[in-house]
């Protein structure tokens, strides 16, 4: 009689979570192993849990098999946060846990499963006149709330701080399947573990459910855009406006990124976005008027020769929003700003979560950012040092077709984000093919693989990170890219290591993330 083969770890995982919850196809596993910039080693399988209980069962089974586990949200990151160092891990795709569990308008909280996207949360809350204080990144059509809590980040509501800092409580599943609830969901009551699991890159546990505070949606909005002749002027203006708390979003582009945006977007899409927003708010005629203004302003209002800054103000009424707009306009003018058509902030606010077509450049170039968050006082010298680096390497960059620009963005009252962005000729990856709209992708020229260009981009990104370190920068989306240990107090780092050992003694939870 034939001997039955012994069950494999994959067999036992199937028995624990069900065959339908596991993806083992080689091509699919390869897709899940790549982020926006990096293709990593293939996982043993991809596990898509249906709920917290299912997730806990899967982690317990993986723990029994001695498997590393790597959590993945919407896949929009580019710092190897979910790209494992070694093959054979169990990748946890949280996309199957996307429900909005409770909207409590009386107590002003919302609880979602971690795989809920920022766009889905906004769509649920906006008709109720509610939203979270920080309400997502521009990639929020795919980026998830759980990913935001793990990676941190910001854009919408940046004046109120970063995304992860607003969490009220989590339900976290540890490496062995233990479920831990942090906080009480409305106010800190003694030492609170919620912040411990925030911005952890999934190194301490997998967030299954997230409770966030709610605020009323703005009743009125104001928009303004300005062009500046130099970096110092635009950065000074952004800093002063941030310190005064006049805008909920305050961001800028250098000439290169301004030019990229002008190439990429179309007037028809801009006008359609504004019309859609107005129709949703019951103002069809307002949408026609705003769309007509965009078309009339055209795409030449920023010729790409200058820096630009863009602002959105909010108020309980239009007079309040306009008062803040007038105050920030005074500051911008005093720093040499010239008013231009406010197309960019209007279009972004009208369609806050666009398809992630900007993951590729105007002709299909590969795109990858790097960033640092510094104090206002360190922003100008950090920017100057990065510009000096690019000037020193300009000939090499030009020879390989590499372009670089900067996005500038203020964070709360006291911090300034500088995000150098690289575009380089390189082959489109499967992640791009699935994320970018097919019609948009079909219009792009595209490029062959270019190892030399990619290697220089990686070298430049590393050099930029070193520059930020000399200016005391902090970082979002730490993953396996930014040097957390080097920027930490040694005693605090040792304590973090002890916490990691307590919640994950086998070191199986996203090994090497955060540098742990």
> Which pLDDT does position 334 carry in this prediction?
98
> Which pLDDT does position 6 carry in this prediction?
83
Q: 59 to each of 32, 52, 90, 504, how far by Cα in Å?
A: 18, 11, 9, 12
Over the chain (516 residues), what is each successive 10-residue block's mean pLDDT? 78 96 97 95 97 98 98 96 95 98 98 98 97 96 97 93 94 98 92 95 98 97 96 97 97 87 58 52 46 49 73 97 98 97 91 94 96 98 97 96 96 96 96 96 95 98 98 96 96 97 98 96
> Which pLDDT does position 52 carry in this prediction?
98
CATH class of 219-354: alpha beta
User: Is 406 exposed, middle or buried (CB count within 10 Å of its CB: 0-12, 13-18, 19+)?
Assistant: buried
> Which pLDDT does position 306 carry in this prediction?
85
> Which pLDDT does position 284 carry in this prediction?
45
H helices of 359-437, in order, are: 376-392, 394-399, 430-435
Contact 40, 34 (CB under 8 A): yes
- What predicted TM-score, i.e. pTM, was given to this entire model? 0.92
> Which pLDDT does position 218 carry in this prediction?
95
Which residues are CB-contacts of 110 (< 8 A; sequence separation ≥ 6)?
Answer: 100, 102, 103, 104, 121, 125, 130, 132, 211, 212, 214
Q: What contacts 24+ positions apart, CB below 8 Å, involve 462-470? A: 463/389, 464/370, 464/372, 464/386, 464/389, 464/420, 465/370, 465/372, 467/372, 467/382, 467/385, 467/386, 467/389, 468/372, 468/374, 468/382, 468/418, 470/385
Hey, what CATH topology would domain 9-95 get? Answer: 3.30.43
Domain coordinates of the chain in residue numbers?
9-95, 97-216, 219-354, 359-477
Contact 199, 150 (CB under 8 A): yes
What angle do the packed helices 9-17 and 52-64 form, to 10 degrees? 160
Separation of alpha carbons 224 and 420, rounded Å? 23
Separation of alpha carbons 207 and 56, rounded Å? 11
> Which pLDDT does position 297 carry in this prediction?
53
> Which pLDDT does position 448 carry in this prediction?
96
Q: How far apart are the first and last CA of the chain?
A: 50
Which residues are CB-contacts of 137 (< 8 A; sequence separation ≥ 6)?
Answer: 76, 118, 143, 148, 153, 154, 155, 156, 163
Domain 359-477, CATH among 3.30.160, 3.30.70, 3.30.300, 3.30.429: 3.30.300
> Which pLDDT does position 259 carry in this prediction?
75
We find that the CATH architecture of domain 97-216 is 2-Layer Sandwich (3.30)
- What are the percentages of helix, strand and coil residues in the chain, rounded to 5? 40, 20, 40
> Which pLDDT does position 258 carry in this prediction?
76
Rg (CA), the chain: 23
Which residues are CB-contacts of 81 (< 8 A; sequence separation ≥ 6)?
Answer: 35, 150, 151, 201, 202, 477, 478, 479, 480, 510, 513
Q: Scanning the structure block, which residue is given the tokens 């790409």? A: 304
Separation of alpha carbons 275 and 286, rounded Å? 8
User: Two tokens at 88?
Assistant: 């054979």
């Amino acid at each position: 009689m034939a001997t039955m083969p012994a069950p494999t770890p994959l067999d036992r995982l199937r028995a624990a979570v069900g065959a339908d919850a596991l993806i083992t196809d080689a091509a699919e596993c390869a897709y899940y192993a790549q982020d926006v910039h990096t293709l990593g080693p293939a996982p043993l399988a991809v596990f898509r849990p249906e709920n917290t209980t299912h997730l806990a069962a899967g982690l317990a089974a993986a723990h029994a098999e001695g498997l590393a586990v790597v959590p993945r949200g919407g896949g929009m990151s580019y710092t190897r946060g979910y790209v494992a160092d070694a093959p054979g891990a169990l990748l946890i795709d949280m996309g199957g846990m996307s429900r909005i569990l409770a909207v409590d308008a009386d107590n002003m909280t919302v609880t979602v499963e971690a795989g809920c996207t920022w766009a889905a949360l906004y769509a649920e809350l906006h008709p109720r006149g509610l939203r979270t204080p920080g309400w997502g990144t521009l990639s929020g059509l795919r980026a998830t709330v759980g990913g935001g809590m793990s990676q941190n980040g910001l854009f919408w509501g940046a004046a109120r701080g970063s995304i992860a800092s607003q969490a009220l409580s989590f339900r976290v599943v540890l490496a062995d399947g233990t479920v831990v609830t942090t906080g009480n969901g409305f106010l800190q009551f003694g030492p609170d573990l919620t912040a411990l699991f925030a911005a952890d890159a999934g190194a301490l546990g997998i967030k299954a459910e997230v409770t966030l505070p709610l605020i009323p949606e703005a009743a009125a909005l104001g928009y303004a855009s300005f062009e500046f002749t130099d970096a110092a002027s635009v950065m000074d203006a952004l800093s002063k406006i941030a310190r005064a708390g006049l805008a909920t979003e305050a961001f800028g582009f250098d000439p290169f990124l301004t030019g990229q945006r002008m190439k990429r977007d179309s007037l028809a899409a801009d006008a359609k976005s504004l019309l859609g927003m107005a129709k949703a708010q019951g103002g069809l005629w307002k949408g026609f008027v705003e769309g007509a203004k965009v078309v009339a302003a055209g795409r030449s209002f920023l010729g790409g020769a200058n820096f630009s800054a863009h602002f959105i103000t909010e108020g309980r009424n239009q007079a309040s929003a306009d008062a803040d707009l007038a105050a920030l306009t005074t500051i911008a003018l005093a720093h040499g700003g010239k008013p231009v058509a406010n197309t960019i902030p209007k279009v972004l606010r009208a369609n806050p979560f666009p398809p992630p077509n900007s993951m590729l450049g105007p002709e299909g170039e590969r795109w990858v950012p790097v960033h640092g968050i510094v104090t206002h006082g360190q922003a100008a010298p950090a920017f100057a040092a990065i510009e000096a680096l690019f000037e020193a390497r300009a000939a090499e960059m030009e020879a390989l077709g590499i372009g670089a620009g900067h996005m500038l963005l203020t964070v709360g009252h006291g911090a300034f984000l500088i995000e150098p962005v690289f575009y380089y000729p390189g082959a489109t990856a499967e992640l791009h093919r699935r994320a970018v709209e097919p019609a948009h992708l079909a219009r792009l020229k595209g490029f062959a693989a270019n190892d030399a260009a990619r290697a220089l981009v990686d070298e430049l990104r590393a050099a930029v990170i070193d520059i930020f370190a000399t200016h005391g920068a902090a970082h979002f989306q730490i993953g396996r890219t930014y040097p957390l240990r080097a920027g930490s107090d040694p005693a605090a780092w040792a304590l973090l290591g002890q916490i990691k050992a307590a919640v994950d003694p086998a070191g199986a939870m996203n090994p090497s993330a955060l540098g742990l």
